[in-house]
């Protein structure tokens, strides 16, 4: 009985080794009798929508050594340390690590140094190509593109978000060795090729990005502001044409030794940070009122409604005043179009309260406030929108003109686009295509319609009013003769520790053209400008500069009279 049991146990062990453990034992044998030199996969490129390269690779090399195969450690260490700019002791210590089958001596070594070392044919020393990531345009769109770690792995931005496409798969060269790791003479090396990463074509337009960065850098300097930001997108499908976050940094000279600075400069604030939008938010309030009026909702204020000339409203016992109280004593009755021109807060208080909490929140949700826009970029904030059940009249009144609500710049830009493009809300996108070096497309993004906000008729009426803001109202500094520019200014006070920060403002302007068929929309934000701080005087001129540049780049003809 015992003999039968032992025989069965032997058979079971034999079966386990032959059938189950086989692959693992084969790998161990291969590892014992071979040594590998990695063949690093080329990282995919990042390009703009027209093929301009934004992230590329430069040839460099890694230096490896097998201590058991090094025949002259002293001489080899002397040559390596001189060529690699390393200390003799460090290199010598690596060459003497006989407990390891292979050690990395140096990475990212220039080609010239490797060629000089190859001429000496150092026993036990090997070289493998190991590319270095380079960014031809330095700081351009740095927060969007992102950067890689020292080992070439995507760390931030699109470099990280599309790592699985960009990285590729490394290969290797296998050498037969004896038990102590010395290469066997006349042995044939086995080559397993690397699979290079795929290229990623973005929706960004390098020319518009560079233009917008130049304009915003000038605004940052002249206004001595804390920060300057801009988004340019195509309202027909929400393709992002430019994203500017200043101050910025050079992707070829990353401040890795100062993590606090690096984290601040590499953050895409347009997607991740929130702020009170102020009067630019009135676009949404106006759109909701016009749409409800067209639907026959008696709560909506008609287009010809004349708002009271009173410069303030009392809501829940607290006054809400028009900004003109702080400028001059004049105030008159006005229509919705005039209220947009004058950016009169009390008029939008009237609209929000007339529509009521439930109805107004339906539009806030349709415009995706308090929700992600769906952009293909990590770290997106959803903003801050009070839960509908907790909103009091005072809150609702202030939301109507852009207070008591916090949004990301991207949310506001998308909402404005969805209000004036016929009412269509798309998921904004930064990536257009993923393709291999041979030109084969592996993934192509298409515009993704998320929903409707308002009707085409409402959108056209609102756009006509916003064209009047630029032609006759607070947005005059965005006016361009011969081109139908529309938009809305905004000036919002900043809060610190729950209180108004005296003398600190965010100046903004969101505009687009042509007003009758929007193709280019820009949101400009200047954070804490010194001196003049109104969106009409600080931000609107920047948008005009960007639009003029786009007109030149795209050779856009003047509108017919």
Beta strands of 66-142 (E only): which ranges? 103-109, 125-129, 132-134
Q: Which two tokens stand for residue 169?
A: 């798969």
CATH 3.90.1310.10 range(s) for the chain read 28-202
**Residues taking part in catalysis:** 279
Residue recorded with tokens 């948008």: 543
Q: What is the predicted pLDDT for the residue at 377?
A: 97
Q: What is the predicted pLDDT for the residue at 375?
A: 97
Q: What is the predicted pLDDT for the residue at 98?
A: 74
Which SS3 state, helix, strand or coil, does residue 74 take? helix
Q: What is the predicted pLDDT for the residue at 483?
A: 97
Which SS3 state, helix, strand or coil, does residue 219 take? helix
- Strand 61-65 and strand 125-129: the pairing is antiparallel
pLDDT one-digit tens code per residue, 412-441: 999 999 999 999 999 999 999 999 999 899
| Cα distance between residue 157 and residue 506, in whole Å | 25
Q: What is the predicted pLDDT for the residue at 208?
A: 98
pLDDT one-digit tens code per residue, 244-295: 999 999 999 999 999 999 999 999 999 999 999 999 999 999 999 999 999 9
Q: What is the predicted pLDDT for the residue at 95?
A: 82
| Cα distance between residue 471 and residue 469, in whole Å | 6
With CA atoms as reference, report the closest residue to 300 among 336, 332, 334, 331: 336
The third-level CATH classification (topology) of the domain covering 206-554 is Beta-lactamase (3.40.710)
Q: What is the CATH number of domain 28-202?
A: 3.90.1310.10
The sheet carrying 199-202 orders its strands as 132-134, 53-58, 46-47, 199-202, 431-435, 441-444
CATH 3.40.710.10 range(s) for the chain read 206-554
The pLDDT tens digits along the chain (561 residues) read 666 655 555 555 554 445 455 444 344 444 444 455 666 788 999 999 999 999 999 888 888 888 778 888 888 888 888 888 888 898 888 888 876 767 888 888 888 888 888 888 888 888 877 788 999 999 999 999 999 998 889 999 999 999 999 998 877 766 555 444 445 555 555 667 778 899 999 999 999 999 999 999 999 999 999 999 999 999 999 999 999 999 999 999 999 999 999 999 999 999 999 999 999 999 999 999 999 999 999 999 999 999 987 888 999 888 888 876 544 545 678 999 999 999 999 999 999 999 999 999 999 999 999 999 999 999 999 999 999 999 999 999 999 999 999 999 999 999 999 999 999 999 999 999 999 999 899 999 999 999 999 999 999 999 999 999 999 999 999 999 999 999 999 999 888 777 778 889 999 999 999 999 999 999 999 999 999 999 999 999 999 999 999 999 999 999 865
| Cα distance between residue 58 and residue 45, in whole Å | 11
Q: What is the predicted pLDDT for the residue at 181?
A: 47
């Amino acid at each position: 009985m015992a003999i039968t049991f032992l025989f069965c146990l032997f058979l079971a062990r034999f079966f386990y080794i032959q059938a189950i453990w086989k692959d693992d034992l084969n790998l161990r044998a291969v590892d014992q009798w071979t040594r590998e030199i990695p063949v690093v996969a080329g990282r995919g490129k990042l390009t703009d929508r027209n093929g301009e390269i934004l992230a590329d690779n430069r040839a460099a090399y890694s230096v490896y050594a097998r201590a058991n195969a090094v025949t002259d450690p002293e001489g080899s260490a002397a040559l390596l340390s001189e060529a690699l700019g390393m200390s003799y002791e460090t290199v010598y210590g690596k060459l003497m690590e006989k407990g390891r089958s292979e050690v990395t001596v140096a990475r990212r070594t220039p080609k010239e140094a490797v060629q000089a070392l190859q001429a000496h044919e150092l026993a036990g020393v090997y070289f493998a190509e190991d590319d270095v990531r380079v960014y031809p345009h330095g700081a351009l769109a740095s927060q969007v593109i992102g950067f890689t770690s020292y080992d070439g792995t995507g760390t931030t931005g699109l470099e990280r978000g599309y790592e699985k496409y960009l990285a590729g798969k490394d290969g290797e060269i296998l050498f037969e060795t004896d038990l102590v790791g010395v290469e066997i003479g006349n042995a044939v090396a086995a080559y397993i090729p690397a699979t290079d990463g795929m290229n990623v074509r973005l929706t960004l337009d390098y020319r518009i990005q560079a233009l917008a960065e130049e304009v915003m850098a000038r605004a940052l300097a002249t206004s001595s502001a804390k920060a300057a930001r801009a988004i340019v997108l195509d309202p027909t499908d929400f393709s992002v044409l430019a994203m500017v976050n200043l101050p910025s940094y050079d992707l070829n000279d990353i401040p890795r030794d100062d993590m606090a600075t690096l984290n601040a400069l590499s953050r895409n604030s347009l997607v991740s940070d929130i702020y009170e939008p102020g009067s630019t938010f009135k676009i949404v309030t106006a759109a909701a009122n016009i749409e409800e009026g067209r639907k026959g909702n008696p709560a909506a204020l008609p287009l010809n409604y004349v708002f009271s000339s009173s410069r303030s409203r009392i809501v829940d016992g607290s006054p809400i005043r028009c900004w003109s109280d702080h400028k001059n004593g004049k105030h008159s009755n006005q229509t919705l179009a005039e209220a947009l021109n004058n950016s009169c807060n009390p008029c939008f208080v009237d609209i929000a309260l007339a529509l009521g909490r439930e109805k107004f929140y339906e539009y806030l949700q349709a415009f995706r406030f308090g929700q992600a826009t769906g952009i293909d970029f990590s770290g997106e904030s959803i903003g801050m929108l009070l839960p509908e059940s907790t909103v009091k009249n005072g809150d609702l009144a202030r939301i109507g003109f852009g207070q008591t609500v916090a949004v990301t710049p991207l949310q506001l830009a998308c909402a404005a686009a969805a209000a004036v493009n016929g009412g269509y809300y798309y998921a904004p996108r930064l990536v257009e295509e993923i393709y291999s070096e041979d030109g084969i497309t592996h993934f192509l993004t298409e515009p993704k319609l998320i929903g409707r906000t308002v009707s085409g008729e409402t959108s056209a009426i609102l756009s006509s009013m916003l064209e009047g803001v630029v032609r006759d109202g607070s947005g005059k500094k965005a006016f361009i003769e011969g081109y139908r520019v529309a938009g809305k200014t905004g000036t919002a006070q900043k809060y610190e520790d729950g209180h108004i920060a005296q003398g600190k403002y965010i100046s903004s302007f969101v505009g687009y053209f042509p007003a009758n068929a929007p193709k280019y929309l820009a949101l400009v934000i200047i954070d804490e400008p010194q001196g003049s701080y109104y969106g009409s005087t600080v931000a609107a001129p920047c948008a005009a500069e960007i639009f003029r540049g786009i007109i030149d780049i795209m050779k856009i003809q003047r509108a017919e009279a």
